[in-house]
Amino acid sequence: MQKTNYQFEKRRREMEKKAKKEEKRRQNLEAVRSPAAENAAAPTEPAPDAGA
């Protein structure tokens, strides 16, 4: 029977956590950029003049 390689298991878990965290970060950046890009592309109404 083989001995368990605890260092390998720990490193694998840490790499999985890091990959999951990076994926969440990418999704959040995409979510933030997507509405901002849509708002920038949408035509805006001219602001009413305060002095008129």
Domain that holds residue 24: 1-35
Q: Does residue 50 lie in a domain region? A: no
Return the pLDDT at 38: 59
Q: Does residue 19 lie in a domain region? A: yes
Structure-token pair, residue 23: 């994926």
Q: Does residue 43 lie in a domain region? A: no
pLDDT in tens, the chain (52 residues): 889 899 999 999 999 999 999 999 999 999 988 876 556 555 566 666 666 5
Q: Does residue 31 lie in a domain region? A: yes
pTM for this predicted structure: 0.55
- List, in order, residues 6 or more apart from 16 with CB less than 8 Å away: none
Separation of alpha carbons 25 and 19, rounded Å: 10
Q: Does residue 26 lie in a domain region? A: yes
Q: Does residue 3 lie in a domain region? A: yes
Q: Does residue 8 lie in a domain region? A: yes
Q: Per the structure, how many domains does the chain have?
A: 1
Q: Does residue 5 lie in a domain region? A: yes
- Is residue 20 packed enough to be buried (19+ CB in 10 Å), middle (13-18) or exposed (0-12)? exposed
